Amino acid sequence: MEKVKNILGKGNSAGEVYMVQDKGTGRDYALKTVLLIHFNKDEIRAWVHLADKGKAPELYSFHLEDNRVYIKMEILEGKTLKDIFVSEGFGQLMADKEKSEQKKCFSLLLLHGLLENFELLREGKFTHGDGHSGNIVVLPTLDVQLIDFGSAKGIRQGDGIDHTNKLKADVVNIIRQFCAAYSGVDFNEYCDALKALQEKNFQDIQKSMTNIPESDRNWLFRVMLLVFDTVRDNHQEGFADTSKAASEVQAMLPPRKDLEDMKKKIAVLLFPEKYKNPHHDPEFVLEAEVNDEGNTLLDDPDLADLSTLVDLKKDFGDLSLF
Ligand SMILES: Nc1ncnc2c1ncn2[C@@H]1O[C@H](COP(=O)(O)OP(=O)(O)OP(=O)(O)O)[C@@H](O)[C@H]1O
Ligand SMILES: [Mg+2]
């Protein structure tokens, strides 16, 4: 016996993904249904491979009923990157110059997380095949998870599939998400991104980045090329081995302690409903709580204020430094 509680999200191929409660156990799960003719066996293989590493929702079960496959899985308590990109918090990250370090940190954390997931899939001999922003979930801890393995493929030699270009496509999609997270601007089409990276020419996209200083834009393009160089030539040695690029990305992040502080600030911006101070009612802001720019602590979280947040403590550990 099951009860549909609400819709978790909408996709193009599966339609709606529902939050369902099992009336017997009381446990909630996410239910996705896929038409049998669209069901791809590698979907489950690639998914379980990544879920075992804690980087995808746990797969509870799947079964066939009539012409549909019913997939039950863990509900991820995060937000898709697509939703983050249109959120108020992300808008603040993009617009507020004082948050430029947080913006850089978020985009690097995302890039690192996506590269880590790509490497894990590649080790298992899989490509994801559909790395758009609706298939990436950021958890409130800022950990990055992948969902929707409907286009995943096992890399098997001699099966007639062009795996080299599939690996390249996964990497280009990762670069696109990084670019969008740092600049708020995405390429129109996959082929535009591929062409710009191949030709090392970002003239078109930078027309939409006039609000970003030239040195920051150049930094962004350098990082994008650093990652693309792992798949530039289909015949190069170590093709699609992104582990070294991932280490270089990690080295660009702030040192450990600063990183933890930064992550908390970003998490409060992107997940205000989770990390909002329950004692803080924006309707009744005390004078002392308004900073020089007239923003409340919620707009511009102050570390002392954050120290009272139970969820933040739970997700990010010891806050004794606050
Ligand atoms: N485990 C989950 N926990 C929470 N939300 C989920 C989960 N799985 C899917 N969703 C939500 O449902 C949406 C659609 O899911 P999914 O991407 O699997 O469907 P799809 O139809 O295959 O998508 P696409 O349009 O990429 O083909 C996601 O973008 C996300 O918002
Ligand atoms: Mg999807």
Q: Where are the domains of the chain?
A: 2-73, 79-252
The structure tokens 């039950």 sit at 72
| Ligand 1 atom with the shortest distance to the CA of 76 | 3
DSSP state of 287: G
- Ligand 1 in reach of 150 Cβ (< 6 A): yes
Atom of ligand 1 nearest to the CA of 82: 29
**Where does the pLDDT of residue 318 fall: very low under 50, low under 70, confident under 90, or very high at 90 and above?**
low
Q: What is the pLDDT of residues 100-135, one digit of tens each?
A: 999 999 999 999 999 999 999 999 999 999 999 999
The model carries a pTM of 0.90
Residue with the bigger pLDDT between 274 and 291: it is 274
Residue 2: pLDDT band by 50, 70, 90 thresholds? confident
Q: What is the pLDDT of residue 285?
A: 40
- Burial letters 139-148, b for 16+ CB under 10 A, else e: bbebebbbbb
CATH T-level fold of 2-73:
Phosphorylase Kinase; domain 1 (3.30.200)
pLDDT of 199-245, one tens digit each?
999 999 999 999 999 999 999 999 999 999 999 999 999 999 999 99
Bridge partners of residue 21, in order along the sequence: 3, 28
Packing angle, helices 100-123 and 256-270, rounded to 10: 100
- CA–chain centroid gap for 279, Å, is 30
- Residues facing 33 on adjacent strands: 70
Q: Please give the sequence-ordered ranges of beta strands (E in DSSP) within the chain, or none if there are none.
A: 2-10, 16-22, 28-35, 59-65, 68-73, 79-80, 126-127, 136-138, 144-146, 153-154
d(CA 42, CA 155): 10
**More confident of the two residues 279 and 284:** 279
CATH superfamily of 79-252: Transferase(Phosphotransferase) domain 1 (1.10.510.10)
Q: Which amino acid is at 240?
A: A
Give bridge partners of residue 10 from the DSSP assignment: 16
Q: Name the residue of 32, 83, 132 whose CB sits within 8 Å of the most ligand 1 atoms, as the mutation to test its pocket.
A: 32
